[in-house]
Amino acid sequence: MRLVNVWSDLYGSTLGLYAGRAGGHRWLVASPPELAGDLAAHLEALDGKGETTLLVHAGLTPLRAALEAQLDPVLGRPLSGVVVVAGASLAGGPAMTVTEGTVDGADGLTWLEGGQFPAWQDALGAPGEEGENAAASVCAALGVPVRVCSAQDLPDVLRGWWTVTPHAFVPGG
């Protein structure tokens, strides 16, 4: 895939848009900064259809805001799913409560973080360990299919998801 655009949001998150061959679906890869080191190289090495946005974020509010923006119908094709990069691959996780608090971001921006988030399951029903993952729970709260994997497993997880996702007509696409 080819990097075609890089930008930042008001929370200080960095986003990169990677374009593959024409057609396909839209995907989001979400990662905390400490796990994002090799993700750009992994995405550039992939040969796929559609586009993938890499979001490097700190916190749940920036993730939720980016997801809501990606779900906007004005973008045409719907967001097919999110891969959350974590320390290890997970097959699902319980509902969880993240302690509410105030975050002081860049440029004097302050926001509230935390709340209750639902349980989630791997979008493809992959077996394995389960564990808490607040980012995956945010995706579940918005009704977005989600998978959780390590940075090193990202290429295989994306290719596997692409393989089982039909390239049929998608309304609005």
| Proportion of the chain above pLDDT 90, given as a percent | 73
Position 173 scores a pLDDT of 46
63, 89, 102, 123 from 59: Cα distances, Å: 7, 19, 11, 22
* Token code pair at residue 69: 């923006």
**Looking at the predicted structure, is the pLDDT value of residue 3 above 90?**
yes
Contact 36, 58 (CB under 8 A): no
Position 139 scores a pLDDT of 97
- In the chain, alpha helices (H): 39-45, 60-70, 134-141, 154-164
pTM of the model: 0.92
**Looking at the predicted structure, is the pLDDT value of residue 138 above 80?**
yes
Give the C-alpha separation, 32 to 12, whole Å. Answer: 12
**Looking at the predicted structure, is the pLDDT value of residue 172 above 70?**
no
Work out the angle between the directed axes of helices 134-141 and 60-70 (0-180°, nearest 10).
40
pLDDT tens digits along 71-130: 888 877 788 999 999 999 999 999 999 999 898 877 788 888 999 999 999 999 999 999
**Looking at the predicted structure, is the pLDDT value of residue 24 above 90?**
no
